[in-house]
């Protein structure tokens, strides 16, 4: 399964080797980007992470996408479904290269990832594991309609920072929000 998702400004596709030097290694080696994700990685571990992310696609039938900026073709991050062994719930996550923060890309990619999880994978709900101090990521979760659910423990080696927040939403809530926002858009269009 190699789906490609398209949003207004982004393409989401399965990661590939060329992504490694196009931004993947730099992102995973950046102390600021990895502050709430168990810390910066040397290139050797960043490559293993790429192999793990690509490997989830054939193993699980889904996985995280690379995010490509349409305008430039550059790699700007990773986002999408994620469920390693022992994970508390099926996740849709987001990680953006520092040069791509502050543009709404995480929210745009996460929204596409959630749609994919609900409409293509048929998940009944999605979760997002977020460090209690990662307010930027909590804001993304809020913008896509998720709410804080409970504190959870992650499996090793991701348990080093202690318990983490689990945010999320159900497919039913997502569908209700979609139909009320498209109803609001129809009503605004009919008034103009």
Ligand X SMILES: CC(C)(COP(=O)(O)OP(=O)(O)OC[C@H]1O[C@@H](n2cnc3c(N)ncnc32)[C@H](O)[C@@H]1OP(=O)(O)O)[C@@H](O)C(=O)NCCC(=O)NCCS
Chain positions contacting ligand X, by CB under 6 A: 33, 36-37, 94-96, 101-107, 130, 134, 136-137, 139-140, 143
Q: Tell me how far, at minimum, the Cβ of 74 lies from ligand X, in Å.
A: 15
| Residue 14 CA from chain centroid, whole number | 13
Q: Tell me how far, at minimum, the Cβ of 73 lies from ligand X, in Å.
A: 19
Give the nearer residue to ligand X in terms of CB position, either 107 or 170.
Answer: 107
Give the nearer residue to ligand X in terms of CB position, either 14 or 106.
Answer: 106
DSSP letters spanning 59-104:
HHS--PEEEEETTT--EEEEEEEE--TT-SS-EEEEEE-GGGTTSS
Q: Tell me how far, at minimum, the Cβ of 131 lies from ligand X, in Å.
A: 6
Give the nearer residue to ligand X in terms of CB position, either 70 or 172.
Answer: 70
* Cβ neighbours of 161 (radius 10 Å): 15
Give the nearer residue to ligand X in terms of CB position, either 142 or 180.
Answer: 142
Tokens (6 digits) for 169: 């939403």
Give the nearer residue to ligand X in terms of CB position, either 58 or 126.
Answer: 126
The SS3 of residue 109 is: helix
Q: Tell me how far, at minimum, the Cβ of 171 lies from ligand X, in Å.
A: 21
Q: Tell me how far, at minimum, the Cβ of 182 lies from ligand X, in Å.
A: 19
Query: Cβ neighbours of residue 188 under 8 Å, at least 6 residues apart?
Result: none
Q: Tell me how far, at minimum, the Cβ of 129 lies from ligand X, in Å.
A: 6
Contact between 79 and 94 under an 8 Å Cβ cutoff? The reply is yes
Phi, psi (degrees; rounded to nearest 5) at 94: -155, 140
Give the nearer residue to ligand X in terms of CB position, either 54 or 144.
Answer: 144
Phi, psi (degrees; rounded to nearest 5) at 175: -65, -40
User: How far apart, in whole angstroms, are the C-alpha atoms of residue 6 and residue 18?
Assistant: 20
The closest residue (CB) to ligand X is 104
User: How far apart, in whole angstroms, are the C-alpha atoms of residue 83 and residue 20?
Assistant: 21
């Amino acid at each position: 399964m190699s789906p490609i998702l398209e949003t207004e400004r982004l393409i989401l596709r399965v990661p590939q080797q060329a992504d490694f030097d196009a931004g993947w290694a730099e992102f995973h080696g950046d102390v600021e980007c990895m502050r709430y994700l168990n810390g910066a990685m040397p290139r050797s571990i960043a490559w293993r992470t790429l192999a793990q992310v690509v490997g989830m696609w054939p193993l699980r039938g889904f996985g995280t996408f690379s995010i490509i900026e349409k305008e430039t073709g550059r790699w700007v991050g990773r986002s999408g479904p994620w469920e390693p062994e022992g994970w508390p719930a099926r996740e849709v996550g987001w990680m953006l290269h520092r040069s791509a923060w502050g543009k709404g890309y995480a929210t745009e990619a996460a929204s596409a990832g959630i749609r994919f999880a609900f409409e293509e994978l048929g998940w009944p709900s999605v979760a997002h594991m977020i460090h209690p101090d990662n307010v930027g990521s909590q804001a993304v979760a809020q913008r896509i309609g998720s709410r804080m659910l409970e504190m959870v423990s992650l499996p090793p080696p991701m348990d080093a920072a202690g318990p983490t927040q689990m945010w999320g939403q159900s497919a039913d809530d997502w569908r209700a929000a979609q139909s009320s926002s498209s109803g609001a858009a129809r009503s605004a269009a009919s008034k103009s």
